[in-house]
Copies of this chain bind each other. A is one copy, B any other.
Amino acid sequence: MIGDVARLAGVSNQTVSRVLNEHPNVRQDTRDRVLDAMRRLDYRPNLMARGLVRQKSHMLGVISFDSVLFGPATTLLGIGRAARARGYGVTILTPESGDRSSIVDTAASLASQAVAGVVVVFPSQAATTTALLSLPAGLPAVAVEAAPDDAIPAVRIDQLTGARIAVQHLLELGHETVWHVSGPRDRLDAQARVDGWRATLEEAGRTTPPVVVGDWSAESGYRAGLELAERPGITAVFAANDHMALGLLRAFHERGIRVPEDVSVVGFDDIPEAGYLIPPLTTIRPDHEEVGRLAVTTLLGLVDETEQDATAPPYVVPTLVRRRSTAAR
C-alpha cells in the first residue's frame, strides 16, 4: 500500500515512510509530491504493520468499573479525548462483576489486545491490585483513585479537600456537627471522603457521629435517609455522592423533614441534574474529565520517553457549588 504511493510519487517506499513520520531530511518538492500522491490515493497507513515493526501499539487500554455512573463515565470521556489528541486510541473494558475471577479475566483480555499502556479506573484497592497483577509485567500502567502502592502512579480527585470543603461549609452555616452517608467501605475514594469529613470535624472540636454506609446508589441514600430521620437533632448531612443525596432528599421528604429548613444536605459530584432536585442540591464539584486527562498524560509519560511533562499533578481539587439544600442554622 505504501508502495502504491511510492510508485505514484516516483520515489521509494522509504521516502514515503519518511514523509509519513516527518523525518526532516526530505526535499520539499519530494515531500509535496508524496503528500499529493497520498491524498490522491486516500492513503491511510496500516497501523498494524506499523505497530508490528515498532513493537508498540497506538492503543491504550482502560479497565473501569461503574462505567455508566456519572463520575467514571466522565473520566472515561476525558481519557478518550486526551488520548486521541496524542494520537492514541482507547479501548475500554468493564468486568462483568466485582469478582476476582471476573477482574482477572478482563485484565487478561486486555493483555491480549496489544495495548501500549493501561489505565485502571477502579475504586477499590483490592480490585486494582488484582487487575494490575493480572496484567503482563512491564506494561506501563496508571491507576485512577486507588493505587496498590507507590510503585504505580496514581491520579485522583482530592477527596480529602472536597470533603473538607463540604463540612466546612456546613459548620460555617452554624451547624453543630455533620452526619455522613458514605460510599462502600472497600472504595478508597469513599474512605478518603470519610477521612476528610472526620478530620474536619475533629479539628473543629465537634463530636463525630457514626458513619452511615451506603453504596453510591439513590436507593442506599434513601435507606440512609429513613434511618437518619429516626434520630432527633440531626441538622446537617454530607452525602458522599449526589445520587445518595437524592435518595436522602426523598426520604426526608417522605418523613416530613424539610430541607434545608430542618436539615441541610451537601452532595458530591455535581451531576447535571443536581440543580433541579427538590431542593436544588448544594454539592462538591470535582473535575472528573480532568482526572482522565491527567491519567493519560501520566501514562504516556511512562509509555513514550519523548513525552515531556511526565510528571502531572496527581490531584484534582474540587470546588463547592452552593445551591439551596443548605441553610444557616
Contacts and interface: CB of A to CB of B under 8 A. Distances in A.
Interface of A: 42, 44-49, 51-52, 57-59, 67-68, 70, 73-74, 76-77, 80-81, 84, 89-94, 96, 109, 111-114, 136, 217-219, 221-222, 243, 246-247, 249-250, 253, 272-273, 275-278, 280
Nearest to A61: B89
A45 B250 contact: no
A178 to B, nearest CB: 22
Given A46-B114, A48-B51, 20 more contacts: A45-B112, A46-B52, A47-B114, A58-B113, A67-B77, A68-B73, A68-B77, A77-B94, A89-B91, A218-B273, A218-B275, A218-B276, A219-B272, A219-B275, A219-B276, A243-B272, A246-B276, A250-B277, A250-B278, A253-B278
Contacts of A93: 80, 84, 89
Contacts of A80: 92-94
A80 B90 CA distance: 12
Contacts of A81: 94, 96
29 contacts: A44-B111, A44-B112, A44-B136, A45-B112, A46-B52, A48-B52, A52-B52, A67-B73, A67-B76, A68-B77, A73-B73, A77-B94, A80-B94, A81-B96, A89-B91, A89-B93, A89-B113, A90-B92, A91-B91, A92-B92, A217-B272, A218-B276, A219-B275, A219-B276, A243-B272, A247-B276, A250-B276, A250-B280, A253-B278
